[in-house]
Amino acid sequence: MSERATPRLSVAAITFDFGNTLVPIRREDLVAVVGEMTEQVRGRSGPFPAGAFETAWAEERSRQFAEEVPRLREVDLATRVVRVLARLRGLAPPDRADPWDDVAAARLSSPDEVAAALADYSAAFVAMVPPPPDVGPLLDRLATAYRLGICSNWPLAATIDRYVEAAGWSASLAAVVVSQRVGTIKPDARIFRAAEAALGTSPGRMLHVGDDWAADVIGAARAGWRVAWLRNRPADSPLPASEPTDEAEPDIVLDRLADLETALAGPA
C-alpha cells in the first residue's frame, strides 16, 4: 500500500526521474544493451578479443562513477568509448589513482567511431528495455491537468530522447531535462532550476517523483519542491542508489508509480 500526504497535494507541474522511476532498469537489461553495442562496435572498429570490450567498458564505467559522482558531475559516455577503444588498441590504462591522458587516448579513435558507438548504445537501449505498459496511459491522463517533464540523471541525453519518442510519450511531456545537458547531476539544485525554467513553474508548485533518496528526495526538497518517493526498484539494478536519511521527508511515499494519481488533489 502506498502512503500519501493528507490533504492531497495540489501542484502545477510534475517531473519524473527516468531510470527506476518511469523505466525499471535491471542488470540484465544493461548487460544486453552493452552486448549489442559491443557487437556493432566490434564489426565496425574491431577485431577485438572476445570479452575485451565488455571488460574494459565495465572497468571504465566504475572509474568514471568514482571520479565524477562525488563532484556532482555526470559521467561522459563519449569519453568512456574513447578510453575503451584506446585500451583495445594498446594504450595501457592508468592506475585508478591517476587520471587518464584523454588527449593521447583520443588519438586512437575517430570522432565518427565514437558517435557511431553512442548511436549503437541508444538504439540497443531503446530496443531492449521495453517501457512499462501502464506508464504511457498514466502520463496521458496526468498531462490533461499538469505540465509534465523528465528530470533525470543520465549519461546520454539522446538515449532518453529516442526512448521517449519510441514509447509514444512525447505528446505528454513538455520538457526533458537530463544531467548530461545541464552539466551537473541531482541533487545539485541547478538541474531542478533548469526543469523549473523548462516548465515555466515556480519551485513551490513543482512535484518531483523519483526512486533515489539522495538524488531525488533530498535534491528536490533542497530546491523547495514537493517530493514523491518511489521506494520500490529492481533489486539487481546497477543504477546508483542511496538509503533514506533524516535530512528530508517526502510528501508522498509510493510503492507503485500508478498510485501517484490518487495522491494528487488537482492542479494548483
In sequence order, what DSSP letters do the residues of the chain get, joined into one string?
A: --B--SSPEEESEEEE-TBTTTB---HHHHHHHHHHHHHHHHHHH----TTHHHHHHHHHHHHHHHHHGGGT----HHHHHHHHHHHHTTPPPPPTTS---HHHHHTTS-HHHHHHHHHHHHHHHHHHSPPPTTHHHHHHHHHTTSEEEEEE--S-HHHHHHHHHHHT-GGG-SEEEEHHHHTS-TTSHHHHHHHHHHHT--GGGEEEEES-IIIIIIHHHHTT-EEEEE----TT--S------SS---SEEESSGGGGGGGEEEE-
The pTM of this model reads: 0.93
Has residue 46 got a pLDDT over 60?
A: yes
What whole-number distance in Å separates Cα of residue 156 and Cα of residue 179? 9
Fold category of 9-25+131-267 in CATH = Rossmann fold (3.40.50)
Has residue 4 got a pLDDT over 60?
A: no
Lowest-pLDDT range of 15-19, 79-83, 218-222, 239-243: 239-243
Distances (CA, A) of 100 to 28, 38, 139: 29, 22, 42
Q: Are 153 and 171 in contact (CB under 8 A)?
A: no
Residue range(s) in the chain whose domain bears CATH number 3.40.50.1000: 9-25+131-267
Mean pLDDT score of the chain: 94
Has residue 141 got a pLDDT over 70?
A: yes
What is the b/e burial string over 185-221, where b = at least 16 CB atoms within 10 angstroms of the residue's CB?
bbbbbebbebbbebbebeeebbbbbbbbbbbbbbbbb
pLDDT at 9: 78
pLDDT at 27: 94
What whole-number distance in Å separates Cα of residue 13 and Cα of residue 204? 10
Instruction: Give the mean pLDDT of 139-164.
Output: 97
pLDDT at 5: 42
Instruction: Give the mean pLDDT of 12-18.
Output: 97
